[in-house]
Amino acid sequence: MSDKSASHNVFGKMLADSIAQANQNVTHADFVAGVRSGRMGFSCVSGEPSQLTKGARRIIFSILVLLYTVAPFIFIPLWAWHERNPWLLIGIIVSALGTRAAARLIYNEQKQYSIAAFLLIASIASWISFGIHSIYTFFALSGLWGVTLFMIADKAETEYALQSLLENPELFEAAIAQNKIMIVRKDDEGK
């Protein structure tokens, strides 16, 4: 066995042990009480939080994802055609860059908010200076679209997964048994 695979196995065992220790003796009732009191949360270890959602929540999350991934490819060409300005097609790239920036900063909300605020201010300033039909205003709005919708979808995904775990004890037990989630105790985070 190579050193790389041996260290990977050791890391995997340590992670599994850490998850098992964090989840040990936590019942669904304890989890619900902990979340409602603000002392507990969860972290997805295996997969994405959206895997824990079903029904209307999953549909809403999917629509949000479509809005930042697919909608620019539909609406920006239509707007470029309407305005008879092919340069507006660059808005697709700008929107994708906004989404990528938000995705790269997924664990740094303050920077996400800073980028969104900058793009909002740039949109307003460009609108005042150059008008609503300005290419600069359009690009700032395209970037703002990508950042904002990614942030909304990310928040919805986590919130919907949490609601599903709170409402469905079977889902909670299955997620614990399969090590899909790790219980996070908020009072332990500061240590």
Q: What is the pTM of this model?
A: 0.84
Q: How far apart are CA 175 and CA 124, in angstroms?
A: 45
- Kindly tell me if the per-residue pLDDT of 191 is higher than 50: no
Instruction: Kindly report, residue by residue over 101-130, the tens digit of the pLDDT.
Output: 999 998 899 999 999 999 999 999 999 999
163 contact partners, CB below 8 Å, separation of at least 6: 57
Span 61-67, mean pLDDT? 97
Asked whether 102 and 150 are in contact (CB, 8 A), the reply is: yes
pLDDT band at 190 (very low <50, low <70, confident <90, very high): very low
Span 122-146, mean pLDDT? 96
35 contact partners, CB below 8 Å, separation of at least 6: 41, 162, 166
Span 151-180, mean pLDDT? 93
Position 102, amino acid? A
Q: What is the pLDDT of residue 24?
A: 85
